[in-house]
Every structure is written in C-alpha cells, then in structure tokens.
C-alpha cells in the first residue's frame, strides 16, 4: 500500500504530529512518503493509494495556501471510486469549521475521508504570543503524539478494508451551521479584505533594525518576500500568518496589534505571561 502525507506547518506543531503519523504508517504499511506543502505539487497524490493531509487551523478554517493546494489538485478517483483520505489538524482551541471544510475539499477532488485526527497546538498567533494560553500551552505533548500513533495504526487497517473489500464507516466530522457560518464569514473575500485593511496590522519594515539576514524571506510559506535591499512583500499573495514578524530576530518587521487586541478582547483578558525559561 503506497501512502503519501502532505502537511503544512508553520511553527512545528503539525510537523510533530506528521512525523509521529508517518513513522507509524510506514511501519504498518511498509511505505509512507511525506512532503511539506511548500515542496509538494498538487498532483502528487495521484501516484498513491492512500493519502493524508496535515494542517493548522487559521482564522477558523484551513490556511489559504492549503485551500489552493486542494483547488489545484486533479481528481483522485479511480474507476468511479474515491481514494481513501485522512487528515490531521492542530489548533489553539477554536478550530471553527476546519474539519468539515477539509472533508468537503477532499470530496470535491475524488477522495473519501476515512478518519481524521486533531489535537491542541500552542497558539502561535503573534498577538497571543505574550500570554500563556489556558488550553493549548505545551501541546502537542507526549500524549498527543501517542494518540497520533494509535490513529496512524488504525488508519492503515481502515484504508486496507476500504481498498480491499469496500468496507467503510464514515467518520462523524465535527461542524454545524454555527461553525460553517463563522468560517464562511471570515472566508468571504470582502471580509478578508476589510480585516486586512482595518483589523490586521500592516507589516512595516524598520530599515534601522533590519540586518538583511533573509530569515523572513526563507521562512515565508508563500515565498513572497524579497530582499531589495530590505524585505519587500507581495501583499496580494499574503496569507496573513505573520510568521515573518514572529521569526525576525531584531523586530524589524513592526506590526501594531493594538486594534486587533482591542476588538478581539485580548486586552481585557487576564494576562498570564509565560515565565522566562518555561
Ligand atoms: C495566523 C494564525 C491564525 C490562527 N487561527 C486560529 C484559529 O482560528 N483557531 C485556532 O484554534 N487556532 C488558531 N491558530 C493557532 C494554530 O492553529 C496553532 O498554533 C497550530 O498548532 C499551529 O500549527 P503549526 O505549528 O503546525 O503551524 C492560528 C495561528 C496563526 C499563526
Ligand atoms: S528577518 Fe528581520 S532582520 Fe532578517 S531580513 Fe527579515 S526583516 Fe530583516
Ligand atoms: S509575508 Fe509574512 S504574513 Fe504574509 S505569508 Fe509571508 S510570512 Fe505570512
């Protein structure tokens, strides 16, 4: 059984789960290829019997680059039968509609979700970075990794039954009209543009602080930053992940989160700063 996993991970949470799932899957199936989204062609799944996708929740749904990967993917069904598909998600505690959106995207590309896995991942969104999140802190932990391995073992049995005998119990994918409405609202082109204009901060380069080290260029998941001689961002393809801000060692990408923190209520939460060394 040829298995392939593609995953997107910006700060390493989904990567940890992907590694655990790949190791176990390779043991159970004899083979499991794995690629990061940035290096995967949307047609990659065509050469495999069973395929999996890992992602973080961004803005209550899948990150936009993940959405485009599925949209650009050729149909995966063979002789009228959908290809077995599984997915895994890490999130900070409010995943919104990510599960049913991925399920629907997979379906639209001739794949059938045979199961999914989810766990918390420490929230890496910059405006939340200076407090100790109540739920996701420390995740994924050893227990999450253990559960991911158990999931991987099961998935190979389930895929075998699906491919061999056509047996299959459709998993119950979380999601309802509330999560659909919230994710749908934040996915609307006009709302996204409005958020970008009025709620999310612009990225202001401070040339005095920038050492032109290129870290932001290398780590932007969209590959849209160039040094010229200071970072220039092609904003039209930006997925608003703010990884460039997170990763800059000299705070040369200045983002003013005050409006976002005010509107999202972050200012009014009891702040629990992460103790040094924790
Ligand atoms: C831009 C951005 C948006 C996010 N939006 C959500 C969200 O809507 N709901 C949620 O539960 N977590 C959200 N998170 C937290 C991530 O889903 C969580 O930290 C995830 O484990 C990150 O995975 P990674 O380390 O593999 O990138 C967001 C994080 C970022 C950076
Ligand atoms: S990571 Fe920071 S210092 Fe390095 S090039 Fe980018 S903005 Fe400049
Ligand atoms: S420019 Fe920054 S915020 Fe935009 S996609 Fe790249 S890393 Fe993310």
Report domain extents, the chain.
3-177, 202-255
Ligand 2: centre distance to CA 235 (Å): 17
CA distances from 123 to 16, 26, 179 (A): 15, 29, 19
Q: Select from 222, 226, 245, 248 the residue to mutate for testing ligand 3; criterion: most ligand atoms less than 8 Å from CB.
A: 222
State whether the Cα torsion 121-127-133-135 is positive or negative. Answer: negative
pLDDT at 278 (0 to 100): 46
In contact, 86 and 115? CB cutoff 8 Å: yes
How many DSSP H helices and E strands does the chain contain?
Answer: 9, 9
Task: State whether the beta carbon of 212 lies less than 6 angstroms from ligand 2.
Answer: yes
Architecture of domain 202-255: 2-Layer Sandwich (3.30)
User: What are the pLDDT digits (tens) for 108-135?
Assistant: 999 999 999 999 998 878 887 766 555 6
Angle subtended at Cα 97 by Cα 107 and Cα 59, rounded to the nearest 5 degrees: 120
User: What integer pLDDT is reported at residue 260 of this predicted model?
Assistant: 85
Give the span between the Cα atoms of 85 and 35, in whole angstroms.
16
Question: Averaged over 35-56, what is the pLDDT?
Answer: 96
Query: Same CATH fold, 202-255 and 3-177?
Result: no
CATH classification of 3-177 is 3.40.50.970, yes or no?
no
Kindly identify the ligand whose nearest atom is closest to the C-alpha of 244.
Answer: 3
Read off the pLDDT of each residue in 199-207 and give the average, rounded to a whole number.
91
Radius of gyration over every alpha carbon of the chain, rounded to an integer in angstroms: 20
Q: If pLDDT is split at 50, 70 and 90, which confidence band does 34 have? A: very high
Q: Is the CB of 124 under 6 A from ligand 3?
A: no
pLDDT > 60? residue 274: no
Q: Which atom of ligand 3 is nearest to the CA of 219?
A: 7
CA distances, 254 to each of 5, 56, 226, 247 (Å): 35, 24, 17, 12
Q: What is the pLDDT of residues 46-71, one digit of tens each?
A: 999 999 999 999 988 999 999 999 99
Q: Going by DSSP bridges, is the β-strand pair 225-227/231-233 parallel, antiparallel, or unpaired? A: antiparallel
pLDDT at 45: 97
pTM of full prediction above 0.85: yes
pLDDT at 276 over 60: no
């Amino acid at each position: 059984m040829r298995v392939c996993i593609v995953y997107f991970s910006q700060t390493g949470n989904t990567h940890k789960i992907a590694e655990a799932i790949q190791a176990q899957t390779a043991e159970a199936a004899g083979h499991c290829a794995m690629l990061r989204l940035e290096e995967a062609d949307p047609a990659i799944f065509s050469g495999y019997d069973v395929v999996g996708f890992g992602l973080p929740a961004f803005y209550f749904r899948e990150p936009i680059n993940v959405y485009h990967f599925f949209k650009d993917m050729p149909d995966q069904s063979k002789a009228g039968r959908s290809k077995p598909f599984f997915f895994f998600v890490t999130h900070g505690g409010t995943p919104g509609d990510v599960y049913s959106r991925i399920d629907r995207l997979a379906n639209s590309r001739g794949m059938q979700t045979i199961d999914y896995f989810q766990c918390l991942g420490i929230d890496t969104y910059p405006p939340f970075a200076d407090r100790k999140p109540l739920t996701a802190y420390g995740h994924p932990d050893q227990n999450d990794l253990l559960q991911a391995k158990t999931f991987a073992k099961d998935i190979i049995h389930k895929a075998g039954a699906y491919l061999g005998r056509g047996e299959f119990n459709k998993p119950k994918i979380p999601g309802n009209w509330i999560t659909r409405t919230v994710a749908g609202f934040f996915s609307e082109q006009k709302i996204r543009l409005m958020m970008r204009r009025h709620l999310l901060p612009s990225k202001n380069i401070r040339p005095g602080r920038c050492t032109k080290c290129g870290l932001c260029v290398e780590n932007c998941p969209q590959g849209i930053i160039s040094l010229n001689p200071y970072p220039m961002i092609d904003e039209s393809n930006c997925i608003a992940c703010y990884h460039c801000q997170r990763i800059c060692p000299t705070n040369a990408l200045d983002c003013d989160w005050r409006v976002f923190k005010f509107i999202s209520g972050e200012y009014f939460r009891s702040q629990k700063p992460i103790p040094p060394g924790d």
